[in-house]
């Protein structure tokens, strides 16, 4: 059984995939009818969801400074807490990343993808008994798009020009066409709250499967089941307890002693030790997050494409994945997109470690002397080790790298986006458009490689409003090639999300959208006695 | 600590002659307040000098210039430092530490809870470790250079040599993971019963006791031993007083001052220095609170924590000084 069919099986297990859908997709993936049939029956039976029980999660990322206001959700802890009590208008499919209905039942774009009409679901109740109305939806989006807003989604929604109610429908008018609009609404900040949360942003009243019963920032959050949930295919356990555990060893100890059912952020260095614990299961999900070595295309000596190519060929990606990620990741190809994105440009040749080619381009660049690389542990876990490893692989190509270890405090203000060559990470974005717009568009604030190409920008904007998928895919392919061959990013690897649970936890959905089953872990799993 | 030059103001002088102890205590108290004031300036200035401000750090990679500007405007970060300092100090004196920039909750309220947790843990550890340390110290003096003394010394030296996170992990591994006896994580919350709470903090308490025990025990031992070599102890021995009795009755009271000092130091450590233990055991105390706040530059919280930590430290030292003076009348009349 390959990874994809495993995903499919787990979706069946979670009740998110009908027999018909499963058979279709499994057979498309090259599985015979008989095998697919057997697989479906097995996964459906082996894991008939059980209801009840008290689920405990031990999560990294909580802090005393966490705010209950969805607009200010920032940490992994709040990401998960918010998904328990709130719903967005749209969700993303765990397998394909495509937009699927949530509080919005369906949607329709105008031909130029500038105007979007969303049909809002009827008969949904908030936790306080009040019915969800179009006004609540409009107020929520207005709060997050207000220019004075401190919402984390402000950047994502920047192109929304007008928000209005039209009968029971939500109508969004954008300043430019955007084919990805529905997906943008799946952002975890955009929890629909009564009257948009304007009256009381901290009330934690939503339409989600659980009601918040207690909350202490950075310490603990508890939930009880929302008996009036509008969906039946989620919220299997009776109650949830989320405990903030920022110490990696504490999380591992709590999981292996059975005090919690699930932990996030398992360190690749210790994952093999944790594997030995008898009651523990490692849950590794391919994701969009990636680790990068960034060169500023506009600063010497990195303004020379031959030097950039030399440095790209001198990267031993396989070794990086093995040594830094402990094998829990996939090699990158020097552009920030992988197969977890819809419309991934397939068939681009994988760049491999080639000291000879690196030496060739290095010579051609005319550069001599060492190259200074700045790094830090906060750039990504194992950042310093990765830099030293890279130094070694460069040596074989005759390129001398000087590694400078910078203090973690202030790394993001003083080094990243400031110094010409440094290490960093990206968490990935829901769409290719967003990833490129955030970090590769000439005018982007976070264009950390200073990649400035008008033809690239033009292509990006054209692809944004293109509703024809085939055409759009071609555009994304051209963009990927530009970044790969001329950009300033060396992208050795995409890191998997590595989490772990006890064996009682069933129905875990490997969601490519984001970590912890896209934050939905607590609402999707159930406990087997 | 040396005394400042005696003041020549007449009423002060009279007070000093008539109630030397009270005058000394008052003096110490005033000194503490001045010290606290100086610390508040240091805290505020130090935080101002840190690289990166709240707006950029809090939003991290997801910050847009617009959002950053909004936050700065909102918090009044554009105003001069001195204005903000005076305002902050004025409110802090009245017990109002403002609201957290990040969570918008009242800092005083949150600190009340967190400080309560920290004091609970520290208090519990102190109740166990102080008598234990002093008792073991006396015991090891009694058996000096014999087997019990050596055992006590070796064990306490071993405990003090291991970093506290290591002791913590060892205890977790043995008692929580292997034996399944102890509660872990030691997270306490509002609706928790007292007995449950005690169970939850068993392991962190044990860790703290092991960490501070050796220091106090060895100081007690050294202080008593140094007294033991004095002439009056010889007299006590010659007049036929039992060995243990002479330690408890004659040596220990005269060794009190250094013992009180080291106890106070360790108590202060138990409150302000247990960040690592709190993190390892997932215990929601002041240490964790401050670390969280520093990471995002949540100034009101950091300032409040800093000030409270300083206050605890200064207060305990003041108490130690006063007690030492009470215990040793000679200190009341500075020469």
Instruction: Give pLDDT tens digits for A462-478.
Output: 999 999 989 999 999 99
- How confident is the model over B83-99, as pLDDT tens digits? 888 988 898 888 888 88
Question: Hey, which residues does A17 pair with through a beta bridge?
Answer: none
Nearest to A150 among B67, B110, B301 (CB): B67
Chain B contact for A415, CB < 8 A?
A: no
- Whether residue B51 and residue A409 make contact (CB cut-off 8 A), yes or no, is yes
- Whether residue A214 and residue B191 make contact (CB cut-off 8 A), yes or no, is yes
- Give residue B10's pLDDT: 57
More confidently predicted of A189 and A35: A189
Q: Positive or negative, the Cα torsion across B201, B204, B210, B215?
A: negative
Chain B contact for A250, CB < 8 A?
A: yes
Q: Mean pLDDT across the stretch B115-119?
A: 91
- Whether residue B189 and residue A245 make contact (CB cut-off 8 A), yes or no, is no
What's the half-sphere exposure (Cβ side, CA atoms, 13 Å) at A406?
Answer: 25
Give the whole-angstrom CA distance, residue A315 versus residue B263: 57
More confidently predicted of A168 and A334: A334
Chain B contact for A410, CB < 8 A?
A: yes
Give the whole-angstrom CA distance, residue A478 versus residue A481: 5
Interface test with B, best of A219, A241, A427 (most B CBs within 10 A): A219
- Give residue A237's pLDDT: 96
A18-32, A315-329, B177-191, B249-263: the lowest-pLDDT one: A18-32
- Give residue B1's pLDDT: 44
A72 contacts on B by Cβ (under 8 Å): 102
- Give residue A47's pLDDT: 63
B171 contacts on A by Cβ (under 8 Å): none
- Give residue A320's pLDDT: 95
- Give residue A14's pLDDT: 58
Give A426's DSSP letter: E
Average pLDDT over all residues of chain A: 90
Task: State the Cα angle at A258 between A252 and A263, rounded to 5°.
Answer: 40
A71-80, A472-481, B63-72, B275-284: the lowest-pLDDT one: B63-72
Quickly count: other Cβ atoms within 10 Å of residue A457's Cβ.
19
- Give residue B15's pLDDT: 67
Residue A321 has pLDDT above 50, yes or no: yes
Interface test with B, best of A61, A63, A64, A439 (most B CBs within 10 A): A64
Structure token pair of residue B335: 């020469």
Interface test with A, best of B46, B60, B66, B183 (most A CBs within 10 A): B66
The pLDDT confidence band at residue A10, using thresholds 50, 70 and 90, is low
Residue A383 has pLDDT above 80, yes or no: yes
- Whether residue A250 and residue B74 make contact (CB cut-off 8 A), yes or no, is no
Give the rounded percent of residues in chain B with a pLDDT score beyond 70: 90
Q: Are A274 and A280 in contact (CB under 8 A)?
A: yes
- Give residue A246's pLDDT: 86
- Give residue A112's pLDDT: 92
B64 contacts on A by Cβ (under 8 Å): 154-155, 158, 445
B62 contacts on A by Cβ (under 8 Å): 74, 152, 155
Q: Are A83 and A188 in contact (CB under 8 A)?
A: yes
The pLDDT confidence band at residue B30, using thresholds 50, 70 and 90, is very high
Chain B contact for A301, CB < 8 A?
A: no
Give B183's DSSP letter: -
DSSP A32-65: -HHHHHHHHHHHHHHTPPP---EEEEEETT--TT
The pLDDT confidence band at residue A180, using thresholds 50, 70 and 90, is very high
- Give residue B105's pLDDT: 81
Chain B contact for A529, CB < 8 A?
A: no
Query: By CA distance, what is B297's nearest residue in A?
Result: A65
Residue B235 has pLDDT above 90, yes or no: no
Long-range CB pairs of A382-387, under 8 A, 24+ apart, other chains included? A382/A268, A382/A269, A382/A324, A382/A325, A383/A291, A383/A423, A385/A323, A385/A324, A386/A291, A386/A320, A386/A324, A386/A423, A386/A492, A387/A423
- Give residue B76's pLDDT: 78
> Phi, psi (5° rounding) for residue B180?
65, 25
Chain B contact for A67, CB < 8 A?
A: yes
- Give residue B62's pLDDT: 56
Give the rounded percent of residues in chain A with a pLDDT score beyond 70: 94
- Whether residue B185 and residue A414 make contact (CB cut-off 8 A), yes or no, is no
Task: State the Cα angle at A289 between A287 and A290, rounded to 5°.
Answer: 125
Residue A396 has pLDDT above 60, yes or no: yes
CA distance B130 to chain A (A): 28
Residue A12 has pLDDT above 80, yes or no: no
B102 contacts on A by Cβ (under 8 Å): 63, 65-67, 72
- Give residue A269's pLDDT: 82
The pLDDT confidence band at residue B51, using thresholds 50, 70 and 90, is low
Q: Mean pLDDT across the stretch A399-422?
A: 88
A34-38, B33-37, B65-69, B272-276, range with greatest mean pLDDT = B33-37
- Whether residue B184 and residue A259 make contact (CB cut-off 8 A), yes or no, is yes
A446 contacts on B by Cβ (under 8 Å): 61
Residue A15 has pLDDT above 60, yes or no: no
- How confident is the model over B278-304, as pLDDT tens digits? 888 989 988 888 888 887 778 888 889
Look up tokens 């690389």; give the residue.
A373
Tell whether pTM > 0.90: no
Give the rounded percent of residues in chain B with a pLDDT score beyond 90: 22
- Whether residue B176 and residue A216 make contact (CB cut-off 8 A), yes or no, is no
- How confident is the model over B123-135, as pLDDT tens digits? 999 999 999 999 9
- Give residue A11's pLDDT: 67
Interface test with B, best of A58, A62, A65 (most B CBs within 10 A): A65
A95-109, B48-62, B189-203: the lowest-pLDDT one: B48-62
Structure token pair of residue B323: 């007690």
Nearest to A219 among B103, B189, B298 (CB): B189
């Amino acid at each position: 059984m390959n990874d994809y069919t495993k995903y499919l099986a787990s979706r069946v297990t979670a009740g998110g995939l009908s027999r018909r859908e499963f058979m279709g997709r499994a057979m498309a993936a090259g599985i015979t009818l008989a095998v697919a049939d057997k697989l479906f029956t097995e996964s459906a039976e082996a894991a008939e969801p059980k209801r009840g029980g008290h689920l405990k999660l031990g999560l990294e990322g909580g802090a005393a400074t966490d705010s209950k206001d969805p607009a200010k959700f920032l940490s992994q802890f709040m990401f998960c807490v918010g998904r328990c009590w709130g719903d967005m208008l749209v969700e993303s499919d765990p397998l394909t990343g495509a937009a699927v209905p949530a509080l919005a039942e369906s949607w329709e774009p105008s031909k130029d993808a500038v105007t979007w009409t969303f049909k809002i679901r009827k008969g949904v109740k908030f936790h306080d008994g009040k019915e969800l109305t179009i006004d609540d939806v409009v107020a929520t989006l207005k709060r997050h798009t207000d220019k004075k807003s401190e919402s984390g989604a402000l950047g994502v929604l920047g192109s929304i020009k007008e928000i209005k109610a039209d009968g029971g429908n939500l109508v969004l008018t954008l300043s430019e066409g955007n084919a990805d609009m529905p997906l943008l609404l799946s952002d975890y900040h955009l929890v629909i709250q009564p009257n948009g949360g304007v009256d009381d942003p901290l009330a934690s009243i939503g339409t989600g499967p659980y009601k918040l019963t207690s909350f202490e920032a950075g310490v603990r959050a508890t939930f009880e089941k929302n008996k009036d949930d509008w969906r039946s295919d989620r919220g299997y356990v009776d109650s949830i307890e989320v405990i903030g555990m920022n110490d990696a060893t504490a999380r591992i100890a709590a999981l292996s002693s059975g005090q919690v059912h699930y932990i996030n952020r398992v360190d690749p260095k210790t994952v093999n030790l944790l594997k030995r614990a008898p009651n523990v299961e490692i849950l590794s999900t391919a994701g969009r997050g990636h680790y990068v070595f960034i060169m500023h295309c506009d600063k010497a000596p990195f303004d020379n494409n031959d030097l950039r190519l030399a440095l790209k060929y001198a990267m031993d990606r396989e070794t990086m994945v093995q040594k830094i990620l402990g094998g829990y990741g996939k090699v990158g190809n020097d552009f920030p997109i992988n197969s977890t994105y819809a419309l991934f440009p397939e068939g681009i040749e994988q760049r491999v470690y080639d000291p000879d080619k690196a030496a060739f381009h290095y010579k051609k660049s005319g550069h001599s002397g060492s190259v200074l690389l700045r790094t830090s542990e906060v750039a990504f876990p194992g950042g310093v080790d990765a830099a030293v490893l890279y130094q070694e692989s460069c040596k074989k190509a005759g390129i001398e790298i000087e590694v400078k270890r910078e203090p973690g405090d202030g790394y993001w203000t003083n080094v990243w986006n400031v110094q010409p060559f440094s290490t960093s990470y990206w968490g990935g974005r829901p769409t290719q458009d967003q990833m490129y717009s955030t970090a590769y568009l000439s005018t982007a604030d976070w264009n950390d490689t200073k990649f400035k190409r008008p033809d690239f920008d033009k292509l990006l904007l054209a692809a944004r409003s293109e509703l024809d998928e085939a055409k759009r895919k071609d555009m994304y392919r051209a963009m990927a090639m530009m970044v790969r061959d001329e950009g300033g990013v060396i992208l050795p690897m995409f890191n998997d999300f590595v989490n772990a649970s006890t064996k009682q936890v069933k129905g875990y959905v490997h969601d490519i959208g984001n970590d912890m089953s896209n934050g939905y872990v607590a609402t999707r799993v159930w406990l087997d006695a | 600590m040396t005394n400042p030059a005696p003041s020549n103001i007449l009423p002060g002088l009279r007070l000093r002659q008539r109630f030397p102890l009270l005058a000394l205590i008052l003096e110490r108290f005033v000194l503490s307040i001045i010290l606290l004031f100086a610390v508040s300036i240091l805290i505020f200035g130090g935080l101002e000098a840190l690289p990166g401000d709240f707006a950029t750090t809090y939003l991290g990679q997801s910050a847009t210039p617009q959002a950053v500007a909004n936050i700065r405007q909102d918090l009044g970060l554009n105003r001069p430092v001195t204005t903000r300092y005076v305002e902050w100090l004025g409110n802090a004196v009245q017990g109002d530490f403002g609201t957290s920039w990040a969570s918008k909750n009242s800092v005083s309220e949150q600190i009340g809870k967190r400080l309560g947790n920290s004091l609970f843990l520290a208090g519990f550890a102190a109740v166990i470790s102080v008598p234990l340390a002093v008792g073991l110290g006396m015991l090891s003096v009694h058996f000096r250079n014999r087997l019990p003394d050596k055992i006590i010394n070796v064990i306490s030296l071993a405990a003090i040599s291991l970093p506290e996170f290591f002791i913590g992990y060892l205890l977790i591994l043995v008692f929580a993971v292997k034996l399944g006896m102890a509660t872990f994580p030691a997270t306490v919350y509002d609706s928790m019963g007292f007995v449950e709470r005690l169970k939850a903090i068993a392991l962190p308490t044990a860790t703290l006791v092991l960490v501070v025990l050796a220091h106090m025990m060895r100081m007690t031992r050294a202080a008593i031993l140094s007294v033991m070599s004095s002439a009056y102890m010889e007299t006590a021995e010659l007049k036929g007083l039992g060995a243990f009795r002479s330690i408890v009755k004659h040596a220990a009271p005269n060794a009190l001052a250094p013992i009180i000092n080291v106890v106070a130091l360790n108590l202060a450590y138990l409150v302000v220095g247990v960040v690592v233990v709190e993190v390892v055991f997932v215990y929601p105390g002041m240490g964790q609170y401050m670390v969280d706040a520093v990471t995002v530059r949540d100034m009101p919280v950091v300032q409040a924590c800093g000030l409270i930590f300083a206050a605890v430290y200064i207060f305990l030292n003041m108490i130690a000084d006063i007690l030492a003076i009470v215990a040793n009348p000679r200190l009341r009349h500075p020469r």
